[in-house]
Structure 1
Amino acid sequence: MSLRSLVEQFLKFGVVGAIAFVIDYGILMLLSQVVCWDPVLSSAISFTVSVVFNYVASMRYVFTRREDLSREREFVIFVVLSIIGLAINSACIWAGTQAFGDGALAVTATKVVATIIVALWNFWSRKRWLEAK
């Protein structure tokens, strides 16, 4: 894959990721700030909802499907990789809220850092295990 193709793919990944982030962040803020649920629980729920959107959009617009994987197996791998991402996300949210509190600004800043870290994990892991060579 050429550098140009990789950059184009990463940009598509970024657009899908940005939409997934809006879904994730919106649900996170609704649950943690309006409903007053724990930010870590709220984050887990919002992250999970965004994974479903992310799977559909990523496998349709970003990555080339592997012919040796059924849709079911592809989805299972996607979910496993996303669960690892969720663990990274939750650890970041926990650490950030422990260090900076659970107000809207602290949760937002923590979520931005968590999103960057998880995005790097997601791109690398999906490219490694889900994309056709």
Structure 2
Amino acid sequence: MKKLIAQIAKFGVVGVIAFIIDFGILNLLVRYAHMNNVSAGTISFLVSLAVNYLLSMSIVFKHRDDMARWLEIVIFFISAAIGLLINDAVLWMGTASLPADAIETMHGTYVLYTNIAKLVATVIVSVWNFIIRKWLLDAPSPEENVNTDSFAHRLGRWSLQHNPFPAKPMIK
């Protein structure tokens, strides 16, 4: 239980760093570039995703020895793509009730609604990301035995046997 609490705390720190980047870029694009919140949210999400991946996979989650790195990256980015869809849907819903010209005529209200929606989206996507990454990407601690019947283990073993990027023989 201590390990899980420590891991959640690390996930929270990484999440705060990614959120600051995401929220900052979102607000710059919406406030000053008068960009639509969903477009701006997509851009800010993708920028913060790169930071999140690097920090999450080096600080929060341990690489599974029974999973190929290529599959780890694929799972991370597929779960992130689903998170992006959730993010964009919540951002859109957060301002959908405003008039079509709200960016220009109600700019302050539009930014406020966007920020509230972003906070809601961040909570939902954070929970989604932690659950998926913990389930599929996190290696068991050294004192735990690998559950060979788990989906993550079976998927990982499959990935080691089916490498889409085989090593090329050296030409002499």
Smaller-chain TM-score range? over 0.9
- Name the aligned partner's letter for residue 46 of structure 1: S
TM-score, length-scaled by structure 1: 0.93
- Name the aligned partner's letter for residue 119 of structure 1: S
Gaps of 5+ in 2: 104-109, 141-172
- Name the aligned partner's letter for residue 17 of structure 2: I
Task: Tell me the secondary structure at the aligned position of residue 37 of structure 1.
Answer: coil
Q: What CA RMSD, in Å, does the superposition of the two structures yield over aligned residues?
A: 1.3
- Between structure 1 and structure 2, the one with the greater Rg is 2
- Name the aligned partner's letter for residue 47 of structure 1: F
Instruction: Compare 70-79 and 84-93 and name the one that shifted more.
Output: 70-79
- Other-structure match for 1:121: 128
Which of 115, 119, 125 aligns to 1:108? It is 115
The Cα of 1:68 is off from its aligned counterpart by 2.3
Gaps of 5+ in 1: none
- Name the aligned partner's letter for residue 23 of structure 1: I
- For residues 97 and 128 of structure 2, what CA distance do their matches in structure 1 show? 23
1:34-113 mapped onto 2 (5 Å cutoff): 34-99=32-97, 103-113=110-120
The Cα of 1:91 is off from its aligned counterpart by 0.7
- For residues 32 and 74 of structure 1, what CA distance do their matches in structure 2 show? 33
- For residues 58 and 131 of structure 2, what CA distance do their matches in structure 1 show? 17
- For residues 122 and 36 of structure 1, what CA distance do their matches in structure 2 show? 29
Task: Tell me the secondary structure at the aligned position of residue 26 of structure 1.
Answer: helix
- Other-structure match for 2:15: 17
Percent identity of equivalent pairs = 46
Number of equivalences = 131
- For residues 78 and 130 of structure 2, what CA distance do their matches in structure 1 show? 14
When you count helix as a share of all residues, which structure comes out higher? 1
TM-score, length-scaled by structure 2: 0.73
Task: Tell me the secondary structure at the aligned position of residue 96 of structure 2.
Answer: helix
- Name the aligned partner's letter for residue 58 of structure 1: S
Instruction: Compare 121-130 and 98-107 and name the one that shifted more.
Output: 98-107
